[in-house]
Amino acid sequence: MMPTALRSESHLAGTTIAVRPSTNFVKTPAIQNLANRSLGYLREGFPVHFRGPAGSGKTTLAFHVAAQLGRPVVFLIGDEEMTTSNLVGGQYGYQYRKVVDRYVHTVLKYEEGATRSWSDHRLTTACREGCTLVYDEFTRSRAEANNVLLGVLEERILVLPVPNQNESYIKVHPEFRAIFTSNPQEYSGVHDAQDALSDRMIMLDVDYFDRDTELAIAASRSRLSESSVAPIVDLVRGYRASGEYDQAPTLRTSIMIARMVSAQKLRTSTAEPRFVQICMDLLGPRTAFSSRSADQRQQQSKMLMSLIAHHCSGREAGDEGTAERLGPEAEPAAAMNQQSGSHVRINRMQAKEARRRGDGTRQGTS
């Protein structure tokens, strides 16, 4: 999605975004099904809530769906310090008025006054102008800050916390629509959404995509062929399936690796030291540094090298020299490359058992 900024009219306090559908947006059956369902709800006036883990494409999907509605977008990001005034607006500064009347030359009439100035913020702008509100990670804001949304989504009325001169509330524009995204509640910095707000939304879970969808997206974002990114996607998916991490590797990791491969014209093979190092750089830190001893981190590195060897063997000449070029950490990968037709199965139970034994070995099954 390529949103372009559009400066709002002078009577608006903030900035709206004009979004248009991206020509390279990947539309697999899984994505199209989710987009069509959400569009159906939005066109009937229901707010949609995309809920899912980091890296599952919630925000990109939200902008894609918003572009289909054809309205300007107001973009918000949840924050611990967010307040109702940050969403709605308030009285900021003063307007001064001074009148000097000399109509009758013998009489001087002098008037001076000051009134508080009201400034609309983004939610108010969206409600007035009929924009599509994209509220990203809304559960990172505290529940009391989001209370103002209850009337907006149900009664279609925005109640102003501080009266704006003659306005105490605003009737929501009929074209106003709202799209929310959030991470699961176990993520740090996430607050529980109040039941009254959740009850007004259509909640759609966005999980990690299937392999075909991840291949298509990684290929599109890196400008590589699907066959070229397949080893990378399979490697990341295999690591995610192992469960041996503190932070799950996502499609975003696959895209990062693929883009580096494309930019540096690397082979996705263990015979390519730079490719192996990039994989280790992006996947290795997925475990918390302070939570593991040096021996456990070494075991983790060996497990990753085994996964790289399994998914990115490359079957190219020179693979047997990989260990010499990369050092001791690469030895398990080079050894597994030399096993013709071998199939490595890495699972969580084996990894934990190896750490308990402390023998530094990883077993594969053929």
CATH number at residue 14: 3.40.50.300
Residue 157 has which token pair?
Answer: 């009325």
- How much is the mean pLDDT over the chain? 79
Mean pLDDT computed over 72-93:
84
pLDDT beyond 60 at 322: no
> Does 332 lie in the same domain as 292?
yes
Pair 142, 268 in one domain: no
pLDDT higher than threshold 60 for residue 45: yes
% of the chain surpassing 90 pLDDT: 48
d(CA 232, CA 212): 13
Closest CA to 309 of 286, 283, 339, 265: 339
- Whether 159 and 276 map to the same domain: the answer is no
Any idea what the Cα angle at residue 266 is, between residues 260 and 269, rounded to 5°?
Answer: 110
pTM above 0.85, yes or no: no
Q: What is the pLDDT of residue 91?
A: 59
> What does the alpha-carbon distance between residue 187 and residue 94 come to, in Å, rounded to a whole number?
42
Q: What is the pLDDT of residues 131-183, one digit of tens each?
A: 999 999 999 999 999 999 999 999 999 988 766 556 788 899 999 999 999 98
Lowest mean pLDDT among 19-33, 79-93, 131-145: 79-93
Q: Are residues 226 and 144 in the same domain?
A: no
Question: The tokens of 212 are what?
Answer: 């075909």
Same-domain check for residues 233 and 188: no
For residues 351 and 215, state if they share a domain: yes
The yes-or-no verdict on residue 264 having pLDDT over 90 is: yes
pLDDT computed for residue 105 by the predictor = 66
Could you tell me what percent of the chain has a pLDDT over 70?
Answer: 70
d(CA 178, CA 330): 50
Looking at the structure of the chain, the number of domains it has is 2
Domain limits at 22? Answer: 4-84+120-205
User: Does residue 132 fall inside a structural domain?
Assistant: yes
Would you state the pLDDT for residue 335? 38
